[in-house]
Structure 1
């Protein structure tokens, strides 16, 4: 297997030649894993347009520097691994991470080298499933590089949470505390003068508070959905007071835990057999004037265990659950 078909005078071709001692074993390993030579050549050719941005050059003029930066070599290694595992296909987030996300993070790659590449590709596989890869990339690209390689994964996590991956909320809040304030402001799309520590402290105590977020009654978030439209359920769910978060649902014969905050929502299917009491908490009597933009039969109303003004609502003709903030008089009880 050879990379001879590549432009020999380009930064990638020069890097492959200059570092053949490293690259050749990766090529052999890809071949041993079943990668076809044509697929490898095609993937390396795909890399050529993006490699100039990953080469160590203060002015970005890759042709004027010695090839073979750590970031570029790591991109080659990861790309060959993706080809070998059948992950180098159009539409897959791992390929998009190499061809689109990493070039957008060229300052990160120049500052931190190869330490950026594998974490970005791995995280993109998760973020891509939520169809927020472009927004995640924009948040990361707006942030200065973290001061050390150890902070790359925490930074990726914070941006993913801001894009709606609510399952990482607690971990992201912890990670944000260890990042420089200017990095966190960019990752969370906060104003330049925002007091990061004070803002996150307030948000920890009220997951529905955020600068600019609506403060009045109404639907704050929706969770779930019909399977054919990207949701988890084949039948409409029923909201119950249960599960690790206090908000649960029953659908398709399974129990589900519901997670939500101002940035997004998620449902997690739980083990079918558990000793945990399910749906044992008191359901709220639904107010006559529920502040929602729909008219339907309510099938379940589960109050938030920490805030009586919030209720998780299910209805007869929807595959989604609504997080509703009640009017002040309704939530005061």
Structure 2
């Protein structure tokens, strides 16, 4: 587990890197990084992931579609959850050896597990090769507002919602929604409490559940080994 909000998949960060030149794809890297940040991602992680992909596949600079693919994959890898479907589609379309090397490096995984990653992601949005090493823990959310977290008190309740990767938390009388996957966690306040129409589910039928520590302002998403 981790003791601050964050993703277990980011425990091993990419090396620091500046934003690469994306002009061959018709993009401004600074604008792209700002867009990633608005979508909930980390510009620093975006730069590191993209640099890793281009190091593994430098020919992408001369391959507009390949470069656009790496940008989308890096945006998702850096936490921009809205890019998930586009990034997965681009990963599945990366069939030649160079694009596969670049895609895997952008995700921070070995190229020989790329096919398994894609297969597992089709029904397990929280899988990545190192999850078992973390005893199934995927992320921590919330945290004490006094040290940069979101919540003034420990969470009182957490429930599953019908949407994939969605949870709701009751904290100090207010409800919050978490949308997440292996790379991303976006926590937002809810104006109204969730209702049965939201598909409430308390049980981890698919192995995905919530873990609370006594007195802790954090909640953890964990996937049982059977998932």
SS at match of 2:108: coil
1:256 maps to 176
- Do structure 1's residue 135 and structure 2's residue 45 form an aligned pair? yes
Unpaired runs of 5+ residues, structure 2, are 1-16
Which of the two has greater helix per residue? 1
Whether the 8 Å CA contact 1:256–1:268 is kept in 2: the answer is yes
- In 2, the alpha carbon distance for the partners of 1:190 and 1:121 equals 22
- In 2, the alpha carbon distance for the partners of 1:152 and 1:256 equals 36
1:226-269 CA distance string (max 9 Å, x none):
22333322232221233534532122443322233333433233
Question: Given the superposition, is the C-alpha separation of residues 317 and 196 from structure 1 closer, same or farther in structure 2, using an over 3 Å criterion?
Answer: same
- Do structure 1's residue 265 and structure 2's residue 165 form an aligned pair? no
- In 1, the alpha carbon distance for the partners of 2:34 and 2:46 equals 13
1:25-61 CA distance string (max 9 Å, x none):
xxxxxxxxxxxxxxxxxxxxxxxxxxxxxxxxxxxxx
Alignment partner of 2:112 out of 153, 170, 194:
194
1:170 maps to 85
Structure with bigger RCO (C-alpha 8 Å, 6+ apart): 2
- In 1, the alpha carbon distance for the partners of 2:47 and 2:136 equals 31
Alignment: residue pair count: 200
Unpaired runs of 5+ residues, structure 1, are 1-99, 284-302
Whether the 8 Å CA contact 1:146–1:155 is kept in 2: the answer is no
Displacement, 1:182?
3.0
SS at match of 1:115: coil
- In 2, the alpha carbon distance for the partners of 1:274 and 1:216 equals 31
1:321 maps to 219
- In 2, the alpha carbon distance for the partners of 1:219 and 1:121 equals 28
Displacement, 1:126?
3.5
Whether the 8 Å CA contact 1:167–1:266 is kept in 2: the answer is no
Question: Given the superposition, is the C-alpha separation of residues 243 and 280 from structure 1 closer, same or farther in structure 2, using an over 3 Å criterion?
Answer: closer
Whether the 8 Å CA contact 1:119–1:153 is kept in 2: the answer is no
Length-normalised TM-score, structure 2 = 0.66
| Greater alpha carbon shift after TM alignment, 117-126 vs 155-164 | 117-126
Question: Given the superposition, is the C-alpha separation of residues 219 and 244 from structure 1 closer, same or farther in structure 2, using an over 3 Å criterion?
Answer: same
Displacement, 1:188?
1.0
Length-normalised TM-score, structure 1 = 0.48
- Do structure 1's residue 120 and structure 2's residue 39 form an aligned pair? no
- In 2, the alpha carbon distance for the partners of 1:196 and 1:218 equals 20
1:236 maps to 154
- In 2, the alpha carbon distance for the partners of 1:218 and 1:182 equals 27
1:65-214 matches, within 5 Å, as: 101-102=18-19, 105-106=20-21, 108-109=22-23, 112=24, 114-117=26-29, 119-123=31-35, 125-126=37-38, 132-142=42-52, 143=54, 144=58, 145=60, 148-149=63-64, 154-166=69-81, 168-179=83-94, 180-191=99-110, 193-194=111-112, 196-214=114-132
Displacement, 1:216?
7.0
CA RMSD of the aligned region, Å?
3.5
1:187-206 CA distance string (max 9 Å, x none):
11222x42634431222222
1:265-296 CA distance string (max 9 Å, x none):
33233332665546853x4xxxxxxxxxxxxx
SS at match of 2:132: coil
SS at match of 2:178: strand
Question: Given the superposition, is the C-alpha separation of residues 257 and 273 from structure 1 closer, same or farther in structure 2, using an over 3 Å criterion?
Answer: closer
Question: Given the superposition, is the C-alpha separation of residues 200 and 280 from structure 1 closer, same or farther in structure 2, using an over 3 Å criterion?
Answer: closer
